Amino acid sequence: MAEKVFTLTTGCNLDAIRASFLADLIRNENQNDDRPRIGLIGAGTVGRAILNEHLKHEIDVMLVDANADSLDTACEAAVSMFSGVNVVRVAPLVREMPTASLTFGKRKLERHGSEASECILIESVPENLALKQSLFVDLRRDCGADVILASNTSNLRIANVFEPLGDDPRCCGLHFFMPVAERPLVECVATPSSSPFTQNACQAHALRIGKQTLHVRDSPGFVVNRLLAPYLNQSLLMLEHGLDASVLAVAAASFGMPMSPLKLIDTIGIRTAFDSGRVFWQSFPNRLDPASILAGMIKAKRGNSRGSHESVGKKAGIGFYNASSVGDQRRSTDASLSEQAIAVIAIYQREARAWTVEQVTQMIAIPMWIEAVEVLAAGIVSDVESIELAMHGGLGFVQTNGFFGFFDSLGAETIRHYVAATSQPFRALGAPAELIACLATCVNPSQAVSHYVAMKRRLET
């Protein structure tokens, strides 16, 4: 039977209790091993999903959130989902943020001083740079220099997030993907100061919860979100040009995506998807024309979930789809869109265009291919296998011949037809002239990618 959550009595010496509890967290008497002790900062939807992955593997954690209701909601859900988990409200780890300890069995947290192994604190708070910077400054101050600080930011540069800490070797990015339970990948992003020890510890911890690690260079959106942003934006733009949502869903499935772009946005959260798209557009302003529908959904207040960092989208149960239809990720029809979403889309729709499913598939997929080529050319990852891993492990993409194999099946001429067209209305389909030239002279798109990437990398050296 799980213990009931209780509230810490006020008037205590929080600094002394915090130091004591951190030592307790780092080592307990029934875990005499060298595995890191885990703290999760943020109990919103993504934070709860990360928490559940830890509890699924029976890993003791400390959970922190500025909102006591969010913390209690996450703890109550944990008790109902996982047998044997004990939840106790404890002294704040940082500032005066409500904090809970979630442990299994009858483990008793004890202080072991210098024998303690490393502790990893994983942040998952809203995508606001100043908020994250302030939090990490306080975590480093309150928790000491030995604790590893990891940010789950999906779009901000890791170097910017940790900039106030200076040359801190125990900081890095550890980016999970929604739905966390279904995505076997995390991106590990080092700062210029991140030590090999820090990166290895984060990779080992990811493996401990069943996740494979993709090491990526620090860049806006890293790899997965950088590929995803133009795909989602292109899908929304086509809706604005009159495309039916049901055709979009069929096209996405034909491409190899596990769900409709609109259901994926609901899963991510409309506000998060909007912020991700904004970061991409601000970082690469010539790559796409931002769609208006997400801003319209936010303005229409599609969702308002108490205790959630994300106020619109599936996180509130009423995004593009109502809660009852979100669970079936593959069966998406226009009729299953919420009435409010249909009304918002109608505001921005122009005269309907007549596209076939095949054309739609190609037009939402090719911007993702172009961005993958640019990611490789910029050295964010070193090889095509990393892109394949990002697509499958981070987005659930499944295609018989893989991501690049899909475009080889289209052929270089088909892709060139889209990316070289001067009259097409979508900026995201425009490719660099050098890449278009490679498509014209190479036997398939993969060879064009290889030639273009090699050329770009030579120019940068």
Model pTM score: 0.85
The per-residue b/e assignment along 49-74, b for 16 or more CB within 10 angstroms, e otherwise, is bbbbbbbeeebbbbbbbbbbebbbbb
Joined tokens for residue 379: 């050295």
pLDDT at res. 455: 96
pLDDT at res. 318: 67
Distance CA 109, CA 25 (A): 7
Q: Is the pLDDT of residue 313 over 70?
A: no
pLDDT tens per residue, range 96-119: 999 999 999 755 333 233 323 569
In this prediction, residues 225-254 reach a mean pLDDT of 95
Give residue 2's pLDDT band: very low, low, confident or very high (50, 70, 90).
Answer: very low
Distance CA 403, CA 416 (A): 18
Q: Is the pLDDT of residue 447 over 80?
A: yes
Please name which of 248, 210, 455, 419 lies closest in space to residue 345, comparing C-alpha atoms.
248
* Domains of the chain, start order: 14-216 (3.40.50.720), 223-461 (1.10.1040.50)
Average pLDDT of the chain is 85
pLDDT at res. 209: 95
Q: Is the pLDDT of residue 27 over 60?
A: no
CB contact at 8 A, 186 and 206: yes
pLDDT tens per residue, range 244-281: 999 999 999 999 999 999 999 998 889 889 988 988 99
Reported residue count of the chain is: 461
CB contact at 8 A, 199 and 207: no
pLDDT at res. 425: 79
Distance CA 261, CA 405 (A): 21
pLDDT at res. 108: 37
